[in-house]
């Protein structure tokens, strides 16, 4: 049994005219829309105006999916048909995504993994105490830029550092060329929570991104005013451990929608070329003055990027972060293209064999 939800009109769940127009062409078999509110190991929950209920994929939809990216993820608007007196939803398709969060799948497999869709703002959460890492922050910013999502940086556990240490961290962010809004807060003392709450607008969808233990779930519980989500104890070092095992969409009392995600150890770059240029806009700016249009910023004469590093206009560690992410993205992109080529070749082989077998009968 799933808890009966308070009646919420679809427009307050983020369904607007653009999605309504897309829903006019929903696939055969579907006659309603609902928002995917949770995904856990292939199991789905759908939220409609009156309740949250379990959902499963229609067979035709399941077998037509060419990539895991095409499967529903949290935040998607799903085209559904209800069964068993409205207690089960069957998903026949999803509406085109306005924005998205994705990464390379963890491990050696070269493919995309969807994190969430139709997000308006991504709160990138880092702890001031142990988790603060500019290179990891760069990865999250690239992820947000690739999906056309506004990023806001949230520094938590400010009660565990001095005001001077906090100022140094904010200064380091600005010196790195990162211009996104920065908000500092403490779940323990409540400092900064009012300002954070004012950022949350009714009908808008937000996402919390960050490593395990940075305080994402505790932050949500504080916004909800109750221990709705499980957390684990914080260690003596101030490092928390994260208990969230699934992605889920939560409707806050003021009407904002918030996606909580499990902490991600790996943030592999795949297909993020344009997002890299957007995230490292200052490097892109310098590169326009390079002698060669295809300058790699390594050994070519007349490289404006390396000249900016030499003059101190561009921090060397900022360039190193860019170069590392670009190399990783290009390597994975080549592997991804090769994988797709092999998949297509194998698919053609199977079709040929089936045709030969059919002709022999």
More confident residue, 104 or 114: 114
**pLDDT higher than threshold 90 for residue 242:** no
So what's the pLDDT on residue 286? 85
User: Do residue 250 and residue 157 come from a single domain?
Assistant: yes
Of residues 328 and 62, more confidently modeled: 62
Q: Indicate whether 137 and 193 sit together in one domain.
A: yes
Contacts 24+ apart (CB under 8 A), 262-266: 262/212, 263/210, 263/211, 263/212, 263/213, 263/214, 263/216, 264/103, 264/209, 264/211, 265/106, 265/211, 265/212, 266/103, 266/104, 266/106, 266/107
Please indicate, yes or no, if residue 265 is contained in any of the structural domains. Answer: no
Q: What is the arithmetic mean of pLDDT over 201-218?
A: 87
What pLDDT score does 130 carry? 76
Same domain for 20 and 46, yes or no, is yes
Q: What is the pLDDT of residues 308-359, one digit of tens each?
A: 888 888 888 888 888 777 777 766 666 555 555 555 554 554 555 556 555 6
Same domain membership, residue 240 and residue 118: yes
Cβ-based burial of 31 (10 A; exposed 0-12, middle 13-18, buried ≥19) = exposed
Confidence at residue 260, expressed as pLDDT on a 0 to 100 scale: 82
Cα 133 to Cα 169, 205, 242, distances in angstroms: 10, 26, 18
Cα(42)–Cα(46) distance, integer angstroms:
13
Do 117 and 146 lie in one domain? The reply is yes
180: domain range? 100-260
C-alpha dihedral (41, 47, 52, 54), degrees to nearest 10: -40
CA distance linking residue 243 with residue 263, whole number of Å: 9
* Token duo for residue 87: 């207690």
CA distance 224 to 250: 9
**CATH number, domain with residue 77:** 2.40.50.140
pLDDT of 261? 76
- For residue 293, being part of any structural domain is answered with yes
Domain final residue pick, 227, 260, 293? 260
List of residues 6+ apart from 177 with CB closer than 8 A? 280, 281, 282, 315, 318
% pLDDT > 90, the chain: 40
Question: Does residue 41 belong to any structural domain of this protein?
Answer: yes
Confidence band of 226 (pLDDT split at 50, 70, 90) = low
Residues in the chain: 361
Amino acid 346: pLDDT: 47
Q: Is residue 76 part of a domain?
A: yes
Whether residues 123 and 31 fall in one domain: no
Q: Please, which pLDDT band fits residue 76 given cuts at 50, 70 and 90?
A: very high
pLDDT tens by residue, 115-161: 999 999 999 999 887 778 888 888 889 889 889 999 999 999 999 99
Q: Verify that 256 and 147 share a domain, yes or no.
A: yes
Q: Is 38's pLDDT higher than 70?
A: yes
Tell whether 356 is covered by a domain: no
Query: 107 with 202, same domain?
Result: yes
The least confident of 51-60, 234-243, 349-358 is: 234-243
Q: How many domains does the chain have?
A: 3
Q: Give mean pLDDT, residues 213-224.
A: 83
The SS3 call for residue 242 is coil
- Rounded mean pLDDT of the chain? 81
């Amino acid at each position: 049994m799933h808890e009966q939800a308070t009646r919420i009109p679809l427009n307050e769940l983020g369904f607007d005219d653009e999605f309504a127009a897309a829903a006019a062409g929903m696939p055969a078999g579907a006659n309603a829309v609902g928002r995917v509110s949770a995904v856990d190991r292939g199991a789905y929950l759908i939220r409609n105006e009156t309740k949250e209920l379990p959902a499963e994929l229609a067979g035709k939809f399941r077998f037509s999916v060419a990539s895991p990216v095409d499967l529903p993820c949290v935040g998607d608007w799903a085209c559904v048909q209800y069964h068993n007196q409205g207690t089960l939803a069957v998903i026949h398709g999803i509406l085109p995504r306005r924005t998205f969060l994705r990464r390379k799948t963890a491990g050696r497999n070269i493919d995309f993994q969807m994190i969430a869709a139709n997000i308006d703002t991504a709160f990138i959460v880092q702890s001031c105490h142990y988790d603060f890492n500019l290179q990891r922050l760069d990865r999250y910013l690239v992820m947000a830029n690739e999906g056309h999502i506004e990023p806001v940086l949230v520094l938590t556990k400010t009660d565990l550092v001095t005001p001077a240490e906090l100022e140094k961290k904010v200064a380091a962010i600005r010196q790195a060329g990162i211009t996104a809004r920065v908000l500092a807060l403490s779940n323990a003392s409540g400092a900064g929570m009012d300002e954070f709450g004012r950022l949350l607008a009714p009908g808008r969808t937000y996402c919390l991104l960050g490593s395990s233990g940075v305080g994402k779930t505790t932050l949500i519980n504080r916004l909800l005013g109750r221990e709705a989500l499980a957390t684990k104890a914080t260690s003596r070092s101030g490092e928390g451990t994260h208990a969230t095992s699934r992605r889920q969409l939560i409707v806050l009392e003021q009407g904002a929608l918030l996606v909580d995600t499990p902490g991600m150890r790996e943030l592999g770059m795949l297909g993020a070329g344009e997002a890299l240029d957007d995230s490292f806009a200052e490097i892109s700016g310098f590169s326009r003055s390079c002698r060669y249009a295809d300058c790699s910023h390594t050994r070519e004469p007349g490289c404006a990027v390396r000249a900016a590093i030499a003059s101190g206009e561009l921090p060397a560690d900022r360039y190193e972060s860019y170069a590392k992410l670009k190399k990783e993205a290009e390597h994975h992109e080549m592997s991804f293209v090769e994988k797709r080529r092999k998949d297509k070749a194998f698919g053609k082989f199977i079709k040929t064999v089936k045709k030969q077998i059919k002709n022999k009968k």
